[in-house]
Structure 1
Amino acid sequence: MSAEPRVLGFAEADVPAALAVQVADLEAEAWPGSTPGHDPALAPRTLLLLDDEGAVAAALALLYKGIPLAGRTYRAAGLSSVVTRSALRGQGFGGRLVAAARAELAADPAVDLALFSCDRPLAPFYEAAGFAPLPGTVLVGGTPGDPLATDAPGFDKAVMAAFFTETPAADRAAFTAVRVPLHPGSVDRLW
């Protein structure tokens, strides 16, 4: 009898080798020429959804960083490298994994918000998992000396968020229609 699909989480450095190879293969298929892995300074955590045979059906990375905005530093987490095995797309695996990521972040007392960008046509996918768009918000990634913003020419990005603070409406307002200094570095230029 086959097992039910399940979500597993690991610090990126602790992903078992056989699963790490599958994740690298999925990422190479989705983004040819990309380099697997994330900047260790962002404390990357890998979430995997395994299919009923124990193979990686979908994967994503959670990245963590403080973001100074509106007179305080928010403890932010971002979704990155969200990918589903091409043969399984459209079957709900990716949505289930993204919803699990949101639930994990909501339960983490060290996280104030989830914040990330996606291609605009994918915004409804993330909304279905509990994230909401931030109208007019621009994430400024890269570094202060070499920035990469979500409103750069040729980009069509939506900024998505979920707030887990005691004052989510006020914090959402602080992040709406502003340029957010994400600056995750030169490895994960935007998450």
Structure 2
Amino acid sequence: MIGYAEADLPARLARQVTELEARVWPGSAPGHDPALHPRTMLLVDAAGTVTAALSLLYKPVPLADRTYRAAGLSSVVALPELRGRGLGGRLVAAARAELAADPAVDLALFSCDRPLAPFYGAAGFAPLPGTVLVGGTPEDPLATDAPGFDKVVMAAFFTDDPAGDREAFTGVRVPLHPGSVDRLW
């Protein structure tokens, strides 16, 4: 596993990530909003091929009279021909461990399609029942409970009071608002 600030990702690896994402999500735009301090994590095989990738995005999130330092997982992808071999799970677990060790991060918070919740659960993230992430911007929001979405909000808490903070984030609408580039992470 290797990681880079997205802006420092070597061109050869960046090109592979872009091609991989385009294969899995045709029409997707590469890269993330620099204001979210994107960090790219990769699994690369011995031949130098990116086999799995994800991005970590960072942003303060105000909730319950406090501002939390949040990180989110975005663009989690593995080579389609290598799916089912545990690459994505290893990468997601490594991302969680990195976030847990970062004293500047209070929690990891993101949404995923409902069928993927067990995948993220196996890496140490837990669903937040009834929680809705409100992405986009305050003027142009995009919520995880929008019509046609079947999303689950997942989290891991790295604070001094993880149970209390989990309670604060359960069953509420969280004003994530990452902007117009990364409307949800």
State the partner residue of 2:149.
Answer: 155
Deviation (angstroms), 1:30: 1.1
| Secondary structure in 2 matching 1:122 | helix
SS at match of 2:142: strand
Identify the residue that residue 17 of structure 1 maps to in structure 2. 11
Q: Give the gaps of 5 or more residues in structure 1.
A: 1-6
What is the percentage of aligned positions where both structures have the same residue?
81
Instruction: Give the superposed CA RMSD.
Output: 0.5
CA drift at 1:50: 1.0
- Please give the TM-score of this superposition, normalised by the length of structure 1: 0.96
**Shift, 1:54, TM fit:** 2.4
Matches for 1:1-191 after TM superposition, within 5 Å? 7-191=1-185
- The number of aligned residues is 185
CA distance in structure 1 between the partners assigned to 2:108 and 2:30 by the alignment: 22
TM-score, reference length from structure 2: 0.99
What's the offset of the Cα at 1:51? Answer: 2.0
Distance (whole Å) between structure 1 residues aligned to residue 166 and residue 129 of structure 2: 11
User: Residue 158 of structure 1: SS of its match in structure 2?
Assistant: strand
Which position in structure 2 is the counterpart of 1:4?
Answer: none
For 1:155, the aligned partner's letter is F
Once residues 136 and 117 of structure 1 are traced to their aligned partners in structure 2, the CA distance between those partners, rounded to angstroms, is: 12
User: Which residue type is aligned with residue 78 of structure 1?
Assistant: G
Describe the SS at the equivalent of 1:187: coil
Whole-angstrom CA distance in 1 between matches of 2:80 and 2:40: 19
